Structure 1
Amino acid sequence: MRPEMNLRISPRTVQQETVGKLRLAIFSGVFQPGSRLVESQLCAQLGISRPSLREALRSLEAERLIEIVPNRGPSIPALSWEEATAIYEVRELLEVEAAGRCAARILPEQVQALEKSLVAFEAAAASNDSAAQVMTAADFYSIILANCGNAILEEVHRGLLARISFFRGRSMSLKGRAASSLAEMKDIYEAIAAGDVKAARKASKRHLLKAKAAAKISIESVT
């Protein structure tokens, strides 16, 4: 007797997939800062109902990736360099500390996982796939955070991930930035793999400063 399986897609699954696709579209620049999101067009593009779309939009609003203004509807927030600066300052506090801690305690099998994520980012950088670049870079850092030995540090960083990815997408949009990021991330990986705490911190800070500078150029070009 063949086993039975319930193949029905739940509304929750539809909502999660919708949030994921819209989030990627925002990160990769499909929707430009300041632009309005037309619900009827999004429903047609995504093949979903308006209630499902609105539920997804509320999730994205909670992540501060969109804003919903009464009588105007949803839109992509205009880029603020002040907010970007704050995000990069917090990233420096969290990621430099995490890189150093990770170098001191990461296990060999997790070093292999970190190398695998770096290879995935290298492929994304070569393909000029902006969405893949953002997501593979996030995967690289998630391994570092998961192995830093501080669950609260990881939790705080995860809470900022959507906005970090938003500005990472702006930074990666600059020509040549993905290749530069790859070289900087290789330095971070090599320091962690070698167990060099000081070098890991230094490489992480250098990477963040260069990413911040690239994001500033990108943001100023659209404001």
Structure 2
Amino acid sequence: MSEMNLRVSPRTVQQGTVDKLRMAIFTGLFQPGSRLVESQLCTQLGVSRPSLREALRSLEAERLIEIVPNKGPSVPALSWERAMAIYEVRELLEAEAAGRCALRISPEDLQALEASLNAFEAAAASHDGMAQVTTAADFYAIILASCGNPVLEEVHRGLLARISFFRGRSMSLEGRAQNSLREMRDIFEAIAARDPKAARKAAKRHVLRARAAAKIAMETGT
């Protein structure tokens, strides 16, 4: 894996530290089960120990890391059972959101959804794993925001970090990004056609295929 530049500019120290660490976890730079050594992270990021610890607390709240007394922070080794549970909830939330979105999305938000799909297509073509994760998240954020149920959106947001973690794993498989693009285009076209049944079906199919890809990636250590 190519080296990631973890350095943070002084103007955005706090949020920048969180963002860099989060993406390092999503892209596999910090593997599940690995310990995070604070002194090394401070050097890599170019931040102070207090700034780092505040960032680590934020990531702990997202359940991307765990901080054990007398042992320090580490990336938890997520079991496939936990991954399955997250994908099951994701399937329920995203299929329902896509169906509702097909009936409620505004023309302006439909344009934004298409733009996010185009951004994901560019990320897939460039093999940029970081951009694939973020643009896919943007695509679903528009669907969730347009579904007409703010509680559904809120619950999904609470899972976003862990969804993105597994998305990073599945996208690491050869050809998965292009397959994902086709599946996301099916979701978009169903929403654009104002067809809630087709939108639910396409969203469910996308999650099931993403889950299968993530399982292979986790089993092979990709």
Smaller-chain TM-score bracket: over 0.9
Q: What is the aligned-residue identity percentage?
A: 79
2: CA distance, partners of 1:70 / 1:129: 36
**1:105-154: CA deviations, max 9, x gaps?**
11111111000000000111111111111000000000000000001100
Q: Which moved more, 1:101-110 or 1:71-80?
A: 71-80
**1:152-196: CA deviations, max 9, x gaps?**
100110111111111111111111111100000000000001101
For 1:139, the aligned partner's letter is D
Secondary structure class of the residue paired with 1:139: helix
Q: Does 1:105 align with 2:104?
A: yes
Unaligned 5+ runs, structure 1: 1-8
What TM-score, normalized to structure 2? 0.93
Q: In the alignment, what sits opposite 1:30?
A: 29
Q: In the alignment, what sits opposite 1:147?
A: 146
Q: Which moved more, 1:68-77 or 1:184-193?
A: 68-77
1: CA distance, partners of 2:78 / 2:94: 23
Q: In the alignment, what sits opposite 2:198?
A: 199
Q: In the alignment, what sits opposite 1:5?
A: none
For 2:101, the aligned partner's letter is C
For 2:17, the aligned partner's letter is T
1: CA distance, partners of 2:221 / 2:79: 11
Q: In the alignment, what sits opposite 2:48?
A: 49
2: CA distance, partners of 1:131 / 1:80: 23
2: CA distance, partners of 1:42 / 1:120: 31
Residues 1-223 of structure 1 aligned to structure 2 (within 5 Å) = 13-222=12-221
Unaligned 5+ runs, structure 2: 1-9
Secondary structure class of the residue paired with 1:68: strand
Secondary structure class of the residue paired with 2:77: coil
Kindly name which structure, 1 or 2, has the bigger radius of gyration based on alpha carbons: 1
Large movers: runs of 4+ above 6 Å: none
- Asked whether the equivalents of residues 25 and 131 of structure 1 are also in contact (C-alpha less than 8 Å), the reply is no
